[in-house]
Amino acid sequence: MNSTRLHSPSSLLALLAAACLSACSMIPSYQRPAAPVAEQWPAAATGAASAPVSASPSASTPTAPASDVAWQDFFADPSLRQLIDTALANNRDLRVAVLNIEQARAQLGIKRADQWPTLNAVATGSRTPTSSGGINSLYSAGVAVTAYELDFFGRVASLKEQALAQFLASTEGSRTARISLIASVAQSWLALLADEELLSISQQTLATREGSLKLVQLRFDYGATSELELRQAQSLLESARVTLAQQQRQRALDENALVLLLGQALPAEVRARLPSARLTLLRLPELPAGLPSDLLTRRPDIRQAEQQLLAANANIGAARAAFFPRISLTAGLGSASSALSGLFKDGAWGFTVAPQALLPLFDAGRNRAALASARVGFDIAVAQYEKSIQSAFREVADALAGRDTLAQQLQAQQAQLDAETDRLRLTDLRYQNGAASQLDWLDAQRSQFASQQALVQVRLAYLQNQVALYKTLGGGAGADTGAP
């Protein structure tokens, strides 16, 4: 075989090692962009939350940040824990997020492999007729390295760094999907509990108004009341039926949404506990907000955006390296013989080394355009990173503002319901004794029903806001060992 003789095979290994050690990096020095948000939360979001009424108790405030509070510690309700476990095992969106990690890991493996030569076994044979009527035979076998790039200017290393950043970004994306799934399951479960309470209130109200209508009808039959009062009682009854139908539909929709998150039907044991479950029995701890700068390290979606920024930065390095010569090496080690049987006995042993340097002279501006594209891609990644910080700041500020105002609203709504209940009791006494009109009595019933519904809805909003705050603060991102 044609060959360029070297003194020993170790010379080839020394050349490859020198190539690896001499590689330089064209990746720009990375500087984390300054966070484009205020150093403190808005004044409206920093007030201490008012102590909620006993109808919506809250656990003591933990000293650990939300990112260090595992979801198992934040959600104490056994039914909710079971639902979250089910969703983590079966939710298809989370499954796709985990598979994205595996795909990114495989891509990283490909880029890492590009930094090493590929060793192939090579065997060839040829039989060529001669002018004298004979046949010349030539057989060769050995190992070969084909077009291995000596990465003097860091192009391959830059692509590997880009793949590594993409892999880390997909890992953080999976953590984001996990946190969002946990929060969505919790909020859907709370909505389902609220639906159950509203249905119970509406069914009780419907039964009460049916009894009231019978009483009014009896009074009307004996001429003790007018038709106007009878129609008012009928209107209240039908209004309750309309509300009940709306709430039955909403409950079905909320259960369907929860089933989608779970990836399977609602477990039978959880469904059996639904009638006895109440929003008032749930305990969700208050969480310290920390500082806006804490979000940079505690929220996985921000960490994901920064990894994508690092990937774009590494891509600039690869684009810069394309302006410099690309040096590749083809080498082989083997034996050649005119007889197949003597290939590894009497054959001539040798090895070849054939380096090649490719320097771009004219490419119609391809490399310049690629570098410009990479730089614009980096600027886009910067804007996306900054937007992720601003979005996170807004989400936390909203949740903090809601924590205080919803607690106050919940107290006021409870006080209003207490007042409406007393009003209905007193109006009923006055009505029975002829001191109040039937219109006053029906109006008191309507007001109490509206206050009961409003209390459940405000309590739901308060608890869902607590879940949202846990999510927006990166809840469990640093504590959940089961995260991908």
pTM: 0.84
- What are the tokens at 163? 């793949």
- Which sign, positive or negative, has the C-alpha torsion 185, 191, 194, 198? negative
Closest to 172 in 3D by CA, of 112, 104, 108: 104
How many other CB atoms are found less than 10 A from the CB of residue 57? 13
Q: 143-157: b or e for each residue (b if 16 or more CB lie within 10 Å)? A: ebbeebbbbbbbbbb
What pLDDT does 192 receive?
95
CA-nearest of 364, 363, 371, 360 to 319 is: 371
Query: Any bridge partners for residue 136, and if so which?
Result: 128
Cβ neighbour number for residue 103 with a 10 Å cutoff: 12
Q: How many residues does the chain have?
A: 484
Say what the pLDDT of residue 243 is. Answer: 93
Q: Which of 355, 350, 327, 354 is nearest to 337 (CA)?
A: 350
Q: Return per-residue pLDDT of the chain as tens, 484 residues.
A: 333 333 344 444 444 444 444 457 789 999 999 989 988 888 766 554 444 444 344 555 556 788 888 999 999 999 999 999 999 999 999 999 999 999 999 998 988 888 888 888 887 877 787 777 778 777 777 788 887 788 888 888 999 999 999 999 999 999 999 999 999 999 999 999 999 999 999 999 999 889 888 988 888 888 888 888 889 889 989 999 999 999 999 999 999 999 999 999 999 999 988 888 889 888 888 888 888 888 888 899 999 999 999 999 999 999 998 888 888 888 777 776 666 666 666 656 777 777 888 888 888 888 899 999 999 999 999 999 999 999 999 999 999 999 889 999 999 999 999 999 999 999 989 988 888 887 888 889 899 999 999 999 999 999 999 999 999 999 888 765 445 5
With contact defined as beta carbons under 8 Å apart, do 180 and 470 qualify?
no
pLDDT of the residue at 343: 64
Write down the pLDDT at residue 88. Answer: 94
pLDDT score, position 483: 53
The pair of structure tokens assigned to 178 is 């996990």
Closest residue by Cα to residue 216 from 205, 203, 202, 231 = 231
The whole-number pLDDT of residue 219 equals: 83
Amino acid identity for residue 473 in this structure: L
Non-local (6+) Cβ contacts of 293 within 8 A are 35, 39
First-residue to last-residue Cα distance in the chain: 53
As a whole number of angstroms, the distance between CA 414 and CA 454 comes to 9
